[in-house]
Amino acid sequence: MLPSCDREDDLRRCLVSLVAQQTRHRLEIIVVDNRPSTRTARRVAQEFAGVVVVDERRCGLSYARNAGILHARGEIVVATDDDVVAPTHWIETLLEPFVEPQVSAVTGHVLPLELETQAQCRFESYGGLGKGFDRVEFGSGWFHHRRSAVPTWLIGATANAAFRAAIFRVPGIGLMDEALGAGTPTGCSEDTYAFYRILKTGGTIVYSPDAYVWHRHRASMRDVRRQIYAYSKGHVAYHLTTLLRDADRRALVRLAYSLPKTYAGRALARLRRQSDYPLASLLVEIAGNCAGPFALWRSRRRVRKLGVSVPVRNHAVSLESPIAQGPPR
């Protein structure tokens, strides 16, 4: 399942890699067109046999992801983006951890497709989308035993993730929060909050770096600054959501202490010439953090106006999927 918003070349490149997957599992490719008025995604999808196109007119990555989730018929829902390219073994590797029935979701590594511009290098030095080369299992112990906010941003991203379809109907999890994510005033964090809810309800998430994809980073500094600003807004919106909706007061530690401390440390290191991280980028992050509360308020109002997506009962799936019992031979 991949959302697309009028990015013809990126979508075509992504679909080429998806139809070339070598896997023993039945693969259903769903493109969610988040700007259906242009019909770009539909035109590109017609070049590939069997690709399904779903229209979602409400702008926002979380709206688009939820549309894909609701139309998916499989027991595992795999999420990626149209600016991603996957190696042929990606699906097969990403699904391997689901042989363990307690695993609710799996994320994979995200590597840069190219590092040809200063902006692409800067985004990767900022942190990129990858989470390292070590396999990590995140469970309820990791979630509950932390004194500060739960750093679910360390788990991965929906540019490379898979979920048991049944979890989206579990009370306390549900669909992606449509007030969070790209295309909304908050800018991001629909995935980190989904990971939060999975762990809070007792699920396990595995980060599997062997299941890697390549992501095409933004090529201009202007776009990278916008992206960092959006990430910074969404980061604060995520913590406020866990505070206000989940009564998780650990968010206050992050917002009032560790986040300001992090920025102060970065600024000091830069002034001492111990880091080359630009002060301008640091100011963009701080500005985004300050805009986070108002952005979340605007996003909540927007969702009340546009409506929320609701899981459909006829897409019911058992938690004990065939993948949990071993892949078909």
Strands 160-164 and 103-112, how do they pair?
antiparallel
In a domain, 128, yes or no: yes
Asked whether the predicted pLDDT for residue 307 surpasses 90, the reply is: yes
* pLDDT digit string, tens, across residues 189-214: 999 999 999 999 999 999 999 999 99
Q: For residue 132, tell me if it sits in a domain.
A: yes
Q: Note whether residue 317 is domain-resident.
A: no
What whole-number distance in Å separates Cα of residue 151 and Cα of residue 111? Answer: 21
Q: Is residue 34 part of a domain?
A: yes
SS3 204: strand
What is the distance between the alpha carbons of residues 33 and 16, in angstroms, rounded to a whole number? Answer: 17
Residue 251 covered by a domain: yes
DSSP SS3 for 211: strand
Strand 30-33 vs strand 2-4: parallel, antiparallel, or unpaired? parallel
| Backbone Cα Rg of the chain | 19
In a domain, 186, yes or no: yes
In a domain, 329, yes or no: no
Assess if residue 81 is contained within a domain: yes
Q: What whole-number distance in Å separates Cα of residue 198 and Cα of residue 240?
A: 18
Instruction: List the CATH number of the domain containing 137.
Output: 3.90.550.10
pLDDT (average), residues 23-45: 95
Tens digits of residue pLDDT in 117-126: 999 998 998 8
**Percentage, residues of the chain above pLDDT 70:** 95
Q: Which domain holds residue 6?
A: 2-309
Please state the domain count of the chain: 1
List of residues 6+ apart from 77 with CB closer than 8 A = 1, 68, 69, 162, 163, 164, 165, 168
Reply yes or no on whether the pLDDT at 67 is more than 60: yes
- The pTM is what? 0.91
Write out pLDDT tens, residues 256-300: 999 999 999 989 998 888 888 888 889 999 999 999 999 999 999
